[in-house]
Amino acid sequence: MGYSFDGCDTVALAREYGTPLYVISERMVRERLSEIRTAFLDRHDNTFALYASKALLTLDLCRIVASEGVGLDVVSGGEIYTAHRAGFPMERVYFHGNNKARDELELAIRLGVGRIVVDNVYELDLLSRVASQAGVRPRILFRITPGVAGHTHEYISTGQVDSKFGVPLGGDVLERAVRTALDSDALELLGFHAHIGSQLHSNDAFRQATGVLLDLVKRMEGVGLTTRELNLGGGYGVHYTSDDDPKPLRYFTDAMMEDVARHCARLHLPVPRIVIEPGRWIVAEAGITLYTIGSIKEIPGVRTYVSVDGGMADNPRPALYGARYAAIVADRPDDPADAVVTVAGKCCESGDILIRDIALQRPVSGDTLVVFTTGAYNHSMASTYNLLPRPAMVITDGGAHRLSVRRETYDDLLAREATLPGDVRC
Ligand code: LLP
């Protein structure tokens, strides 16, 4: 019996579906969604939660999230379309993004998304025109840049003043935008949104941003806006390796809700509807990736490279962010992890290293390697670099398993070629 994940033998999964293979536990995703209910939605009136679908979006994920009563944060026409095709209730969808195209806004309006989170004044103008033409009045929030830096990798930090996201708070850009929206018959402005960054383990930055937002709500009262909704973003950290110290959801949400109540009392404001939108926290730990170990190269006195049949194409995070992962040899999970090796991907790129210096159970070619915490930002960020077909995805549920997304084929890789000859042979 190999290493067991959600009641399934991972070696048997690798054999049945092939590798690399994304495995997502529906049970674990549902556990997180139900924690959102018990720790946040049920404890605080007038709240709502979204799943930030950029972390992982498939039709199955849409259906799971829909059935648990949570909404979706989407950032593109493709994500909107996927939600629509899954039959997701579109009024529970929030459309984000710093450069939404006209056709994406048109699609969002045609399919009836619940909120459009306007990122900048260019978009405000474009959206007004699109909405007027369509004869509907979308509900909007303004994304603002709170000027708060979360302590995380620079590439996934978004709250600092120097950010491409959101309307800056300095000067009177926001005042003018709020006035324009209030004067417009085309749009209904409900409030504001801020997201400070990702993979955060401390609630400090969230608390600072909550204060900044409520001061802003007070300031905008002066412009004539009664804020009815505040979206406080996502970003709660998860466990990748023993260096991470993830906190329960309540550590973040209790602190934010206490601060909301305190600031609203201090500023004599009615408490607006509060929305959160974690992505990674919902799916990351519910996912693993299975690889088959191939070549093992020992450089005496230097290091041993253990190569797997995937790499930066199915998980670009180590190459992009220096992200660290934990892993286990599925065939001998109980053996001592006393072989320190470096797990390399198969892309033609020296930087394609999945895990540097990890202690493993003496890997042997042909073994199955389990890499943990790959549920978020792996499938969704995968590429076909080196024309590696993207992996299949299997969904498990307490011992049961089924195919959710099939493996890409070589013909899929050529499907968009304009000059593909008809008689494909190999
Ligand atoms: N809301 C907004 C507006 C966001 O921009 C994001 C993430 C989230 C929510 C969800 O953040 P989460 O709870 O998943 O941390 N590719 C990077 C992460 C980029 C996150 C971008 N925005 C990674 O692999 O770490």
- pLDDT tens for each residue of 101-113: 999 999 999 999 9
Q: How confident is the model at residue 1 (pLDDT cuts 50, 70, 90)?
A: confident
HSE-CB of 218 using CA atoms within 13 angstroms: 14
Q: Which residue has the tokens 């109980």?
A: 334
Alpha carbon 60 to chain centroid, angstroms: 15
The finding on whether 235 has its CB within 6 A of some atom of ligand 1 is yes
For the question of residue 348 being annotated catalytic, the response is yes
Q: Please count the other Cβ atoms lying within 10 Å of the Cβ belonging to residue 228.
A: 15
DSSP state of 40: I
DSSP state of 343: E
Report the distance separating Cα 367 and Cα 308, nearest Å.
10
Q: How confident is the model at residue 160 (pLDDT cuts 50, 70, 90)?
A: confident
Q: What is the pLDDT of residues 73-83, one digit of tens each?
A: 999 999 999 99
**256: closest CA among 226, 280, 238, 236?**
236
**Considering the chain, what is the average pLDDT of its residues?**
96
Q: How confident is the model at residue 151 (pLDDT cuts 50, 70, 90)?
A: low
| ∠ Cα 246 248 252 (to 5°) | 95
pTM over 0.95? The answer is yes
Q: Which amino acid does the sequence have at 104?
A: E
The finding on whether 55 has its CB within 6 A of some atom of ligand 1 is yes
403 Cα: distance to centroid of ligand 1 (angstroms): 26
The finding on whether 373 has its CB within 6 A of some atom of ligand 1 is no
The finding on whether 95 has its CB within 6 A of some atom of ligand 1 is no
Report the nearest atom of ligand 1 relative to the CA of 143.
3
133 Cα: distance to centroid of ligand 1 (angstroms): 32
What is residue 371's predicted lDDT score, i.e. its pLDDT?
A: 99
> Quick one: angle between helices 204-221 and 249-267, nearest 10?
30
**52: closest CA among 40, 77, 70?**
70
Spell out the domains of the chain, with CATH numbers in brackets.
Answer: 4-8+286-413 (2.40.37.10), 44-282 (3.20.20.10)
Q: What is the pLDDT of residues 247-275, one digit of tens each?
A: 999 999 999 999 999 999 999 999 999 99
Q: Which two tokens stand for residue 222?
A: 């002066």
Higher pLDDT, 424 or 205: 205
**281: closest CA among 204, 205, 376?**
376
198 Cα: distance to centroid of ligand 1 (angstroms): 5
**276: closest CA among 27, 35, 28?**
35
Report the distance separating Cα 143 and Cα 235, nearest Å.
16
The finding on whether 198 has its CB within 6 A of some atom of ligand 1 is yes
335 Cα: distance to centroid of ligand 1 (angstroms): 36
Report the distance separating Cα 172 and Cα 165, nearest Å.
17
Q: Which two tokens stand for residue 81?
A: 């379309």
Tell me the three state secondary structure of residue 283.
helix
Nearest CA owner, ligand 1 atom 23: 377
What is residue 421's predicted lDDT score, i.e. its pLDDT?
A: 85
**What are residue 168's phi and psi, to 5 degrees?**
-70, 150
